[in-house]
Amino acid sequence: MKVRILGCSGGIGGRHLRTTSMLVDHDILIDAGTGVGELEIAELALIDHVFITHSHLDHIAFLPFILDAVGDLRAKPLTMYATQATQDLIRTHIFNWSIWPDFSEIPNANNPYLRFRAIRLGEHVMLGERRITALPATHTVPAVGYRLDNGRASLVFTGDTTTNDDFWRELNKITDLRYLIIETAFSNSDRQLAVVSKHLCPSMLDEELQKLQRNPEIFITHLKPGRGEITMQEIQESIGKRKPRMLQNNQVFEF
């Protein structure tokens, strides 16, 4: 599998700041934040599957634009995978004919540009030899993380989450865990904001990683614009032994 990071910032505000999205091989997206804007029309037309962690705008903003840009160039519907709760939020608040057309009815309900598929926590979706599994996440809205698995190695993305014992129990079962991409949105000075918004800060990340029994390479995502350097400095000071690194746009993982 090849995973290309299209966006990994907790916000916008510069040419290098794009919100969350990952391209898996050529045909799968994990989230559809503003990082999707890095793709050309031909690349967008190849995307058959989009796995959404949760309904917040920084993770779904460009999903409506994908359908508008290439829906008529595709021979089959694009499939959006999400929990039923997340699917309901997106259908109610985005694809509702008021904010954006309902592409599950365009050009008609029998041959739409978009179809929805509900995924349950712990469920595996097999796409060829690739297996994608929904993992527990705890956020202000219903949320999941995802495990990407090719049978030889796994990459796990937490999505947006806060402290979550269920996640670590599942993670510790993964014997071939190679990469962990975990959010840390706020610096320690904003710990209370992290708690209220159900994100992580470095001190909380330290507490969470003490539950990790595996030894993957760790990458930090969702850093807030203007706070990335201080947040990473705090992470290095408290968790440096695990050698966590800042996730970068256009970083590629092959496994």
- pLDDT score for 15: 80
Token pair of 9 as six digits: 């910032």
- pLDDT score for 16: 87
CATH class of 2-254: alpha beta
- pLDDT score for 14: 84
pTM of the model: 0.97
- pLDDT score for 168: 98
- pLDDT score for 169: 98
Per the CB < 8 A criterion, the answer to whether 131 and 121 are in contact is no
- pLDDT score for 240: 87
Give the model confidence (pLDDT) of 234-248 as tens digits: 999 999 899 999 999
Whole-angstrom Cα distance, residue 76 to residue 243? 43
* Residue ranges of the chain whose pLDDT lies below 50: none
Strand 177-183 versus strand 154-157 pairing type = parallel
Whole-angstrom Cα distance, residue 243 to residue 11? 24
Whole-angstrom Cα distance, residue 144 to residue 121? 7
User: How deeply is 205 buried, as exposed, middle or buried, from its count of CB atoms within 10 A (0-12, 13-18, 19+)?
Assistant: buried
What are the extents of the domains in the chain?
Answer: 2-254
Cα 239 to its chain centre, rounded Å, is 23
Whole-angstrom Cα distance, residue 205 to residue 235? 8
